[in-house]
Amino acid sequence: MRLLIQRVSRASVTIGGEIRSAIGKGLMVLVGIEEADTQEDIDWLTGKLLRLRIFDDEAGVMNLDVQQVGGVQQIEGEVMVVSQFTLHASTKKGNRPSYFRAAGEAISRPMYEKFVASVEQALGKRVATGEFGADMKVALVNDGPVTIWIDSRNKE
């Protein structure tokens, strides 16, 4: 399972011209799922995501996680999770990406839904989402920019 995490000042998902969901300051998370992914991957990535200290503290040092984003004001940041099978693109042969490592819908949809539920439970509030399999227009303002890639196979 792979996550591409972006610290944002705002993000939104539009489907068919209608805004599906939007967040303010927080994390925009794209998630890609492989057939071999398990609940263990979900648990590890949920913990890593929510404890990732990439928000500035009062001294301007990236020392706060998404739940501490408001510092003294105790305003929690928001999280948006969008499925993204292209995170498993392989460009080893030629210039047309292959997605053979990405799980099919029968595996990836339930895993995506479990990941969203896991993040919501750990965060203690709703997580904004896209719509699995839909043609989505994702808009965001990357704050920093800060973009981090995490793969549960590497556990770096």
In this predicted structure, what is the pLDDT of residue 54? 95
Q: How far apart are CA 116 and CA 134, in angstroms?
A: 17
Q: How far apart are CA 27 and CA 50, in angstroms?
A: 9
Contact at 8 Å (CB) between 30 and 21? no
For 36-50, write each residue's pLDDT tens digit: 999 999 999 999 999
In this predicted structure, what is the pLDDT of residue 94? 84
Q: How far apart are CA 146 and CA 129, in angstroms?
A: 20
For residue 94, the SS3 value is coil
Which one is catalytic: 46, 84, 115, 129? 84
In this predicted structure, what is the pLDDT of residue 123? 93
**Ranges of the chain with pLDDT below 70:** 70-75, 156
Catalytic-residue membership of 132: no
In this predicted structure, what is the pLDDT of residue 72? 52
Which one is catalytic: 6, 55, 67, 85? 85
Q: How far apart are CA 6 and CA 140, in angstroms?
A: 9
Tell me which DSSP letter residue 128 carries.
E
HSE, CB side, 13 Å, CA atoms: give it for residue 14.
Answer: 7
Tell me which DSSP letter residue 133 carries.
T
Q: Residue 51 corresponds to which tokens in the numbers above?
A: 């404890």
Q: Are strands 78-83 and 128-129 parallel, antiparallel or unpaired?
A: parallel
Catalytic-residue membership of 91: no
Which one is catalytic: 38, 86, 121, 147? 86
> Considering the entire predicted model, what is its pTM?
0.91
In this predicted structure, what is the pLDDT of residue 147? 96
In this predicted structure, what is the pLDDT of residue 11? 97
Q: Residue 143 corresponds to which tokens in the numbers above?
A: 């704050």
Catalytic-residue membership of 38: no
In this predicted structure, what is the pLDDT of residue 29? 98
